[in-house]
């Protein structure tokens, strides 16, 4: 068993083809189902922040946030070029993820040889945690890329202290700190590694100067960091998603880093710690045998310090100021990938190819790190589907209002009135309830996006006091918790029509004029006069001047989400129907009608109106078709 983990018999074209295949694999995994999940809260904040009037506004807003500005400034420039879609926003992270993956090859080659670098890039391309974070509009992929390239320039400087490597290291270090404050852990690990390994000692002066240059570049932002940290622990908005130091937490971290087959992947990482050397046992026969040892060498020491410092400081700080999240451990995915890549390269040819194939198959057939976010896209769509122009949308969903605002703008238009009750509480404080009451009293209808089934003890009475009734309750499930889209209406006056003394049509709304080829939206507000025994259907239609049917829409109230058998007597219920008007309909005056029937016998309920005799349907008004 004679092999050398540092050698690679592959030619340059072969290595290039393998690298391109690895990058294509990583790209495919990161773009797969890129738009499947809704934006989550932090992504919504990124979209809201980067929509500001300019780069200066983005930076000023971040000064009151908890993060440095580089990613958000770059994302604003990207957004200006590519637009506001979810795919375009997330594709920015995919491209950065490819830069990070590609950086593993030269980093691994500088530390352990060409083969280890290529295998480390393969591990990074397949790793679930980096893939998951690549599919977010957040700065973790830029942090990962910054860590890898900063480490690459550090290793290059360690081996060859040229001007290019010095400048590259300083610029990469500054960019790392302006991307995420966790980048400081990496610079600290590099400082410790410098102290332990840089020789001759006079080079330590140069090392100190390089770190000082990085600090000098970050100095303009330092007062902002101090101010941010002074308020971080006072506002639960900033740390409520943090996890405690517990066994369950670190089980989740282990799974995110190593996957379900953590024993195998962890074993490969430990195997990567081993150095293999040949020893001549018999000078006469020149017979050589392979020996393993764990002697710390400078590349391995850097990885050990990197991982140990990150894990140790995280546990220590989190015990005092809770800030731990699973995603923070993306910082140690590069050294783990390097160790696993080196562990694979330490294996002899047949065993290596078998293990590489096994790692690929396991990675492609299992998903070990994928968060389940609330589907704010679907929650907002429940409002959009039945929303009428100028109706305000109130949001009481904590920081879920960040992605909800993005979807409101995308689905209903940026001019749609919207209110974050979370922000109003912070802004008005003791005047929150009076301000809300005044706002409600000036509305005829509104929507409320609400988290869970908790009672509205704070402002439910204000809604009743303002004369509103809940007329629709749509919901999306999130891990057993309903995310509601409530509609409230305030209606006075006599019914427009009654149907078999069972239903009353309290009000209707439709455009007076419409063009052929367009849709006509008709809103209806019902009350049950008694408990309906069946689920009835509503038919809304247009009759031409000769009484012939011109357009029609039939269906249960609110597309089946509000069956009549669930209606309580006196409760107001909202309904909406959309009529598709054919492009060949001639212009003229059409009559808008409505009837109710049970689908089992198709017999319409007898209807009465103040101006019509009893019949099968009610004429609500006239529509002018142009």
pLDDT digits (tens, 9 = 90+) for 353-367: 999 999 999 999 998
Answer with the one of 439, 460, 489 that is the final residue of a domain: 489
Residues 244 and 311 in one domain: yes
Residues 484 and 564 in one domain: no
Answer with the one of 466, 489, 512 that is the final residue of a domain: 489
In a domain, 3, yes or no: no
In a domain, 2, yes or no: no
pLDDT digits (tens, 9 = 90+) for 562-586: 999 999 999 999 999 999 999 999 9
Chain Cα centroid distance, residue 394:
22
Residues 140 and 180 in one domain: yes
Q: How far apart are CA 360 and CA 400, in angstroms?
A: 36
Percent of the chain with pLDDT over 70: 94
Q: With 90 as the cut, is the pLDDT of residue 71 above it?
A: yes
CATH (domain of 548): 2.60.40.2550
Residues 113 and 24 in one domain: yes
In a domain, 265, yes or no: yes
Edge to edge, the sheet with strand 618-625 lists 513-514, 618-625, 588-598, 536-543, 549-555
Position with higher pLDDT, 454 vs 20:
20
In a domain, 4, yes or no: no
| Backbone torsion region of residue 356, taken as left when φ is above 0, otherwise alpha when ψ lies between -120 and 50, otherwise beta | alpha
In a domain, 1, yes or no: no
In a domain, 156, yes or no: yes
Q: Where are the beta strands (DSSP E) in 24-103?
A: none
pLDDT digits (tens, 9 = 90+) for 449-483: 999 998 899 999 999 999 999 999 999 999 999 99
For residue 28, what are the CA distances in angstroms to 22, 90, 92, 131, 294?
A: 10, 14, 14, 10, 37
Q: How far apart are CA 203 and CA 478, in angstroms?
A: 56
Split at pLDDT 50, 70, 90, the class of 335 is very high
Q: With 90 as the cut, is the pLDDT of residue 61 above it?
A: no
Give the DSSP H or E segment for 574.
Answer: strand 572-580
In a domain, 542, yes or no: yes
Residues 232 and 96 in one domain: yes
Residues 347 and 402 in one domain: no
| Beta bridge partners of residue 305, listed in sequence order | none
Split at pLDDT 50, 70, 90, the class of 237 is low
Which among 598, 589, 597 is positioned nearest to 617, based on CA atoms? 597
Domain count, the chain: 3
Residues 186 and 294 in one domain: yes
Residues 285 and 403 in one domain: no
Q: How far apart are CA 50 and CA 292, in angstroms?
A: 53
Answer with the one of 316, 340, 365 that is the final residue of a domain: 365
Residues 76 and 165 in one domain: yes
Residues 209 and 252 in one domain: yes
Residues 249 and 346 in one domain: yes
Residue 544 burial (CB count, 10 A): 16
pLDDT digits (tens, 9 = 90+) for 483-527: 999 999 999 889 999 999 999 999 999 999 999 999 999 999 999
Q: How confident is the model at residue 2, as a pLDDT?
A: 35
Average pLDDT of the chain, as a whole number = 92
- 53 — phi, psi (to 5°)? -70, -15
545: three-class secondary structure by DSSP:
coil
Q: What is the dihedral of CA 91, 96, 98, 103, to 10 degrees?
A: 180
Asked whether the bond before 200 is cis by omega within 30 degrees of 0, the reply is yes
Q: How confident is the model at residue 426, as a pLDDT?
A: 93
Split at pLDDT 50, 70, 90, the class of 285 is low
275: three-class secondary structure by DSSP:
strand
Close Cβ partners of 116 (under 8 Å, ≥ 6 residues apart)? 5, 6, 108, 109, 272, 338, 341, 342, 344, 345
Q: Supply the range of the domain harboring residue 156.
A: 12-365
In a domain, 370, yes or no: no
Residues 483 and 517 in one domain: no
Which among 600, 594, 601, 599 is positioned nearest to 616, based on CA atoms? 594
Give the DSSP H or E segment for 167.
Answer: helix 163-179
């Amino acid at each position: 068993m004679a092999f050398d983990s540092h050698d690679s018999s592959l030619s340059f074209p072969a290595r290039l083809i393998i690298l391109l295949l690895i990058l294509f694999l990583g790209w495919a995994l990161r773009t797969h189902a890129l738009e499947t999940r809704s934006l989550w809260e932090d992504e919504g904040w990124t979209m809201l922040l980067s929509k500001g009037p300019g780069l200066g506004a983005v930076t000023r807003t971040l000064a009151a946030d908890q993060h440095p500005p580089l990613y958000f400034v770059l994302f604003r420039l990207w957004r200006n070029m590519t637009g506001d879609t979810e795919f375009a926003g997330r594709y920015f992270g995919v491209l950065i993820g490819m830069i990070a993956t590609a950086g593993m090859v030269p980093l691994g080659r500088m530390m352990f040889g060409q083969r280890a670098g290529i295998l480390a890039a393969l591990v990074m391309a397949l790793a679930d945690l980096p893939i998951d974070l690549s599919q977010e509009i957040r700065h973790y992929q830029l942090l990962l890329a910054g860590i890898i390239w900063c480490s690459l320039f550090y290793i290059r400087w360690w081996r060859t202290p040229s001007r290019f490597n010095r400048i590259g290291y300083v610029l990469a270090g500054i960019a790392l700190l302006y991307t995420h404050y966790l980048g400081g852990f990496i610079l600290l690990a590099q400082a410790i590694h410098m102290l332990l390994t840089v020789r001759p000692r006079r080079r330590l002066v140069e090392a100190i100067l390089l770190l000082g240059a990085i600090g000098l570049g970050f100095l303009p932002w330092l007062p902002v960091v101090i101010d941010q940290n002074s308020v971080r622990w006072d506002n639960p908005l900033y740390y409520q998603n943090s996890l405690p130091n517990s066994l369950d937490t670190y089980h989740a971290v282990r799974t995110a880093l190593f996957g379900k087959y953590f024993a195998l992947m962890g074993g490969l990482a430990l195997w990567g710690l081993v150095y293999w050397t040949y020893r001549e046992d018999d000078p006469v026969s020149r017979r050589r045998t392979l020996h393993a040892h764990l002697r710390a060498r400078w590349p391995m020491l850097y990885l050990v310090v990197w991982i140990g410092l990150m894990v140790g400081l995280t546990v220590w700080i989190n015990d005092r100021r809770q800030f731990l999240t699973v995603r923070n451990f993306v910082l140690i995915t590069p050294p783990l990938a390097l160790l696993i890549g080196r562990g694979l390269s330490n294996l002899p040819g047949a065993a290596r190819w078998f293990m590489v194939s096994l790692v690929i198959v396991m990675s492609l057939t299992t998903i070990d790190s994928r968060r389940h976010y609330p589907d704010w896209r679907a929650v907002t769509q429940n409002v959009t589907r039945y929303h009428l122009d100028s109706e305000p949308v109130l949001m009481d969903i904590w920081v879920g209002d960040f992605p909800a605002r993005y979807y409101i703008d995308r689905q209903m238009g940026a001019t749609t009135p919207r209110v974050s009750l979370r922000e109003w509480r912070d802004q008005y404080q003791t005047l929150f309830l009076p301000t809300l009451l005044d706002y409600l009293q000036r509305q005829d209808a509104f929507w409320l996006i609400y988290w869970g089934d908790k009672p509205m003890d704070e402002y439910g009475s204000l809604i009743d006091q303002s004369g509103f009734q809940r007329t629709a309750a749509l919901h999306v499930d999130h891990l057993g918790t309903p995310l509601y889209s409530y509609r409230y209406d305030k209606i006075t006056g006599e019914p427009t029509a009654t149907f078999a003394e069972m239903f009353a049509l309290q009000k209707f709304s439709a455009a007076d004029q419409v063009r052929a080829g367009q849709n006509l939206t008709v809103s209806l507000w019902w009350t049950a006069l008694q408990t309906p025994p069946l689920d009835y259907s509503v038919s809304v239609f247009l009759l031409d001047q000769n009484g012939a049917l011109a357009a029609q829409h039939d269906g249960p109230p609110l597309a089946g989400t509000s069956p009549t058998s669930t209606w309580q007597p006196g409760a107001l219920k909202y309904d909406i129907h959309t009529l598709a008007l054919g492009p060949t309909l001639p212009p003229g005056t059409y009559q808008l009608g409505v009837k109710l029937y049970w689908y089992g016998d198709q017999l319409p309920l007898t209807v009465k109106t103040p101006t019509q005799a009893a019949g099968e349907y009610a004429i609500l008004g006239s529509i002018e078709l142009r």
